[in-house]
Amino acid sequence: MMRYVTDRTTGLSLGRPENWHRVQPSAFDLVMVLEDPTRPHGVFQPNAVATVVPVPEAATLMSFTESTTTAWLAATPVGHVVAVDYYPAGGIDGRRIISNYDEQGIGVTMASFCFVHSGLATRVDVSFGLWNTAEGMRDSDYIMQSFGAPKAFAEASALDTGDRVGMLPFLKGLISRGR
């Protein structure tokens, strides 16, 4: 049986792999983490972070993918994009960006998924340790199998210092804050 989570405000739905749970409240639209009781304190915790932002009518999947990836690279000097490919989900054309970066001496792989639909742009970042890339890629595919496009965006919350009116300033603010 497929497990999933849905954000009540945006309507965004994602699959929830076994041993993953949703974190609330969050400054992001939807956050999940892998619960691993054997993970030592201080060791990177695999996570999925989803953000939905309004975009101008002229925004395209290509422009959203390029601008958010460029912002991520600017905020992550040790980050490297490994691959970008076509990734449809929920009946919507999307892009998957595979990247690697260093977080406090730990190698991390991130699978990012970008979508633009009905005036909203969605980015889902699934991060996992470099040492378990195969498992992380399997989990990220599971998460995206239940992708349901958002119907709305959330106004900035008390936890959110980003600007939800402008896509780039908002994403740059989220990226610079870290996870």
* 62-73 average pLDDT score: 94
DSSP state of 133: H
As a whole number of angstroms, the distance between CA 164 and CA 8 comes to: 17
Q: What residue type is 69 in one-letter code?
A: T
pLDDT tens figures, 9-66: 899 999 999 999 999 877 788 999 998 888 777 778 899 999 999 999 899 999 999 9
As a whole number of angstroms, the distance between CA 100 and CA 165 comes to: 29
Are 13 and 87 contacting, i.e. CB atoms less than 8 angstroms apart?
A: no
* 134-142 average pLDDT score: 93
Q: How many CB atoms lie within 10 A of CB 51?
A: 28
**Distance set, CA 116 to CA 19, 64, 78, 113, 152 (Å):** 29, 7, 27, 11, 12
Identify the H or E element spanning 142.
helix 133-145
Q: Which CATH architecture has domain 4-177?
A: 3-Layer(aba) Sandwich (3.40)
Q: So where are the chain's domains?
A: 4-177
- Report, in this order, helix, strand and coil percent for the chain, each rounded to 5: 25, 35, 40
This prediction has a pTM of 0.84
Is the torsion defined by CA of 178, 17, 147, 87 positive or negative?
A: positive
The pLDDT of residue 173 is: 53
**Distance set, CA 177 to CA 31, 43, 72, 103 (Å):** 15, 19, 11, 13
